[in-house]
Structure 1
């Protein structure tokens, strides 16, 4: 019983000697498991990459197209509400104005509303009206108090169309309270649809409130009516599905950490017809930042963009290449693991057992000397120490011939690394390279052009809106306006609109009569500019200057300097790559990324594309797109010059965008990316596990070999400390016990000879 307890204690101490993560076994075991897992990943990942009949990149592009439509619609609706509220507030701060004059001034500044009206709230009497007849009976005049009562509302017109009614109050002292009403259609401002695309605004119940791109059946030829009806039915089906999906919480509808559009968006697949397949993107109206709502987002509207895309021929997945690469990794891994087991693990475990045997006093059997250099040196030192313990002879330095040249553990580790690199490097540099075999769908090139043209219109409209705001402000500054009143109006405008960095009023001599915001940068002591919107390029950074003349004051104007950051923010569109706004000299004015003011594009092909898009075909510039190779990669680029009405159209600016096709979900690039990923994972696994071995086992083993030889040569004073609680540490502790035994015998011999004993050793 006592013997069994002793045996159990010894086994427990032996197990305690080994660290949970240290030693020779864990890194080799982990390496085996990771290589096996990587082989499975390689076979599955590369074997399942196949080309769908409709590439994923096309569906993602439709999603981005719908997001652009949602951004444009939300900005347009919010801008309409803000403009009407601000116009009513500015009118209310001055003297009472006749209802007809109110509508005339609003109509001369803004051309966005289909109809406007002024209604006396108390009596319900219509005081003035412009444009289409408004359904005023849909407004409950008894519930107009508070923000909720004045919230915009959607109403159905007799013809079936949906209108958005925007309400605001006109308040003057000693005057009956009046209601200013404006109606606008739920259509997209400046959306470029191209060919075969339709876009719709969908209500919360899935009903299509308005649509563009699909003609009425009676407006097309007889042989095309079936296609129109099919597309209309498909769009209605997409609308119902999208309305359900956009009810989800944006935080749960997207993957964690995904950026881009702050709302709910996605893509849908429809039916096939004549080799084409209907694809759609949807996006719910969302604020500019996640979690923030606006007036437009409270309407629960969804945008659906649909297009018929030609399908690719069906092609099955080829899993043979993935299986071959996985099999090659299994062979390499088996060779590496076998090499480590045979040359590192087994010799070290043999040393561990022999060193334990010597410490227990079993000195009859010689120590087996393995082939490895460090293990052989330690085993030879143990054999010499065994003889010293057994025979009691003093240590004699061994001859230098014992240092026979052998393959060291570091060399074996380097050989294992080379074997793993022989599998990893070709995957990263040679195997499954996309090259010229990449087929970029034409739909992606078309979408790049249409989205760039849409963004171009959004920037142009933003500049026009800025100048229109100044016209509205200037209309309230007549000949009797004091500088104090001007300053109050400018400060209120600056607070309501973050697009201006400085607002001021200039007289004909260039004197600033009133100002708000930051320090003017474009004021040069001269009178106001004649151009409504102009670029001031005299400084180190561009300054966009909008000017609005003050009625009744010849030569006096309200000037607003727009922030470049405001333009940069408009260019933040996911899926378009790099976006730049350039002037007629191809100098960069705004960008969605880092740039230097007035920097050139530095690409002849982009310069040629900008020039080509600015050429007038008939009366208006046409956007252009191109697919070209640059540095071994395919690049999709598009450019759209300013066109359309408004003062900003005279700037002759161009919006240009480009992106690498590598970032798109195209089959050839997906296969290349997964192949490179497999190679990088193999490199990471090898570096981690072999580095683990080097730090935990190989480096301490080399140091131990040097200490063991010194001990066998007669160094009884140096204490041996283990680095880790593993096999190498156990051998080190055994050598320390042997050192102490030899030191005690040396002291006993000296005492027997009558000599003073040496110190116990240095610590």
Structure 2
């Protein structure tokens, strides 16, 4: 078994360590394009779902209040949300447009007669005459005693807050492979043709089932995603990624994920083969393993296996009564002790006394020492591969595209967190604008409970009076100090010294004497936004460098790691490769843009060790370490098995044979395993039984030793 394993490992070593790396683009760069596409798909899906939820939620709040004019509806919608390209209100019975804002909504795509169907209000995509695509969102406005109205909003298929970085293009593809919208660097016909080719490939691959499209148990993105490789022009190769719009949880569906859309990206990267792999190294390592392994096998064969087989044959000869020839005693070790004992037993079977002197046993290495010697030989090959050879030091080359992507993805994530907080404040503003008409606490509580059900970002919602008294609330008990009125900050963070930061948003309710609607965000909601493949560790830090949220375990308000201090001090989005004991790719992105969350002064910072990236230097190091680990495993498994199954029973056999030769006739001998050692033990038991019968035969007058035949 050891021989087969070492031969196989030598072949693997020659192939993996000696094979030139012919990849023009590192695998880490290709994987990064997949992650960028996933970020774009997450941003687009969240934006579309949020738009649908906001419009339908706003319509529900209007429906529960007093009837208002169409212009009032659109004015309030426009004041709270600035996300739709165009809005309109139609009277369903007559088809008359009552009010409109922004660009013209493509009303021809709406069949008012089919609104009563189950899917009549489902969002739909419409292609305009100029080739652009709009998502049309519908919601009913219904008041008792008045004709039903239809609230319509049109939205673009854009990527809010997605940072593309230099030279990247991104597009949205439908299920047929047609590009619905494009953004970014698309200079020249070649770039547009390549993106169109990527779009068709992405649409075809996107039709797979998400579970079947990835390796079993791989996890990661819930939809279908991957990377693409395009043409090469000079020393630049076009690569890209794709990702279908998918719900946050596997198996779930959302409005946006049901549209059958796929996000595709492309970027040009330098293409040149790595020169770090040396075929001679793999062949030399394999040859050394064959030499060392062959020596170890020869030692084991010559000092353990052959003497043991010889003892097996000699013991069988004695049990058959062939006592004429002396026992062939091995040279040294436990086998020599057993051979000497067998020789003494042969003479005792011929009539010699038990205390008669036997052949001298020459001193030498025992079986355990021989196994240790073989282990040392194999460790001489394995340990250098595991710890010394092909090490990637601090000068390792990290592809520039990896650094650009780390920065772009961190900027995208920062904008995603900022927009999520702004959306939460906008929802509170919408509730505050409509709650002013409700005077009873019970009515206000119903509105708060419905808002809490529709949006999982809050853990507590309440209406706080100017005197600090809570007028109505829903959800968990609020972290509010009795007597304190509404904060003048739109969003603020409290809870320092506690287990969790408390992020609170406040929106004043017009016409209620300084009262405000207050919402406390779940910190788990913020943390869930940070989970991204291929970004390493991600943290949200405040202006003082304290951690507010993270994608993994952390302590609230703890200081960010010291090696990020200089990066955070820059106050601008940037990425760098930090060298030293550990090579890291780190990036930071402060909140950039408007909205209520801008005043927080937060930043999103991410970092990951370069050793976790699939770049040539680390890939070679990992393969080298793997070869050493396989060698160590083969040695430990085979030599350990030999020690347990052969050496330990052989040492016990030597003691039993010497005791039997010394006159111990009472101890019954039985084998531990059915192998050569066990066969020798069985032979010794037969010899013991024969020696026990010798005195009885002598008492009967016979001088012939037991087991010896007459001629």
Gapped runs of 5+ residues in structure 1? Answer: 1-29, 216-226, 615-621, 754-763
Output the CA distance in 2 between the equivalents of 1:556 and 1:728. Answer: 91
Whether 1:570 aligns to 2:529 is yes
SS in 1 for 2:212: helix
> Is the Cα contact below 8 Å between 2:432 and 2:517 reproduced in 1?
yes
For 1:135, the equivalent position in structure 2 comes to 106
> Is the Cα contact below 8 Å between 2:462 and 2:519 reproduced in 1?
yes
Question: Would the alpha carbon gap of residues 318 and 705 (structure 1) be closer, same or farther in structure 2, given more than 3 Å must change?
Answer: same
Whether 1:665 aligns to 2:614 is yes
Whether 1:602 aligns to 2:561 is yes
For 1:433, the equivalent position in structure 2 comes to 391
For 1:326, the equivalent position in structure 2 comes to 286
For 1:551, the equivalent position in structure 2 comes to 510
For 2:353, the equivalent position in structure 1 comes to 394
After superposition, what is the alpha-carbon deviation per residue over 1:414-466, rounded to whole angstroms, capped at 9, x for unaligned?
00000000000000111111114521111111110011000000000000011
Output the CA distance in 2 between the equivalents of 1:108 and 1:750. Answer: 122
Q: How does 1:446-525 map to 2 (within 5 A)?
A: 446-478=404-436, 480-525=438-483
CA positional deviation for 1:148: 1.6
CA positional deviation for 1:126: 1.1
Output the CA distance in 2 between the equivalents of 1:480 and 1:411. Answer: 90
For 1:623, the equivalent position in structure 2 comes to 573
> Is the Cα contact below 8 Å between 2:469 and 2:482 reproduced in 1?
no
After superposition, what is the alpha-carbon deviation per residue over 1:657-682, rounded to whole angstroms, capped at 9, x for unaligned?
00111111111111000000000010
Output the CA distance in 2 between the equivalents of 1:542 and 1:307. Answer: 39
CA positional deviation for 1:158: 2.5
Output the CA distance in 1 between the equivalents of 2:482 and 2:537. Answer: 34
For 2:650, the equivalent position in structure 1 comes to 701
Gapped runs of 5+ residues in structure 2? Answer: 703-711
Give the alignment partner of residue 73 of structure 2, picking from 99, 102, 105: 102
For 1:710, the equivalent position in structure 2 comes to 659
Output the CA distance in 2 between the equivalents of 1:81 and 1:88. Answer: 11
For 2:640, the equivalent position in structure 1 comes to 691
Output the CA distance in 1 between the equivalents of 2:596 and 2:256. Answer: 27
Q: How does 1:118-129 map to 2 (within 5 A)?
A: 118-129=89-100
For 2:678, the equivalent position in structure 1 comes to 729
> Is the Cα contact below 8 Å between 2:26 and 2:615 reproduced in 1?
yes
Q: TM-score, normalised by structure 1?
A: 0.90
Q: How does 1:3-22 map to 2 (within 5 A)?
A: none
After superposition, what is the alpha-carbon deviation per residue over 1:702-741, rounded to whole angstroms, capped at 9, x for unaligned?
0110011000000001111111111111111110111111
After superposition, what is the alpha-carbon deviation per residue over 1:122-169, rounded to whole angstroms, capped at 9, x for unaligned?
221111111111111111112223542211100012222100001111
Output the CA distance in 2 between the equivalents of 1:315 and 1:352. Answer: 56
Q: Mean Cα displacement is larger for which, 253-262 or 311-320?
A: 311-320
Whether 1:416 aligns to 2:374 is yes
CA positional deviation for 1:523: 4.0
Output the CA distance in 2 between the equivalents of 1:667 and 1:527. Answer: 60
Output the CA distance in 1 between the equivalents of 2:555 and 2:357. Answer: 72
Residues matched between the structures, number: 701
For 2:172, the equivalent position in structure 1 comes to 201
Poorly superposed stretches of 4+, deviation over 6 Å = none
SS in 1 for 2:251: coil
For 1:586, the equivalent position in structure 2 comes to 545
Output the CA distance in 2 between the equivalents of 1:38 and 1:746. Answer: 59
For 1:561, the equivalent position in structure 2 comes to 520
Whether 1:352 aligns to 2:308 is no
CA positional deviation for 1:102: 1.2
SS in 2 for 1:148: coil
For 2:709, the equivalent position in structure 1 comes to none
SS in 1 for 2:468: coil
> Is the Cα contact below 8 Å between 2:25 and 2:273 reproduced in 1?
no
Output the CA distance in 2 between the equivalents of 1:525 and 1:339. Answer: 87
CA positional deviation for 1:314: 6.9
After superposition, what is the alpha-carbon deviation per residue over 1:244-266, rounded to whole angstroms, capped at 9, x for unaligned?
11111111111112122111111
For 2:706, the equivalent position in structure 1 comes to none
For 1:760, the equivalent position in structure 2 comes to none
After superposition, what is the alpha-carbon deviation per residue over 1:532-574, rounded to whole angstroms, capped at 9, x for unaligned?
1111133412110011111111221111110111111100100
Whether 1:635 aligns to 2:584 is yes
> Is the Cα contact below 8 Å between 1:437 and 1:668 reproduced in 2?
no
For 1:257, the equivalent position in structure 2 comes to 217
SS in 1 for 2:222: coil
> Is the Cα contact below 8 Å between 1:35 and 1:333 reproduced in 2?
yes
Q: TM-score, normalised by structure 2?
A: 0.96
Q: How does 1:289-368 map to 2 (within 5 A)?
A: 289-312=249-272, 315=275, 318-368=278-328
Give the alignment partner of residue 26 of structure 2, picking from 35, 50, 55: 55
Output the CA distance in 2 between the equivalents of 1:743 and 1:630. Answer: 77
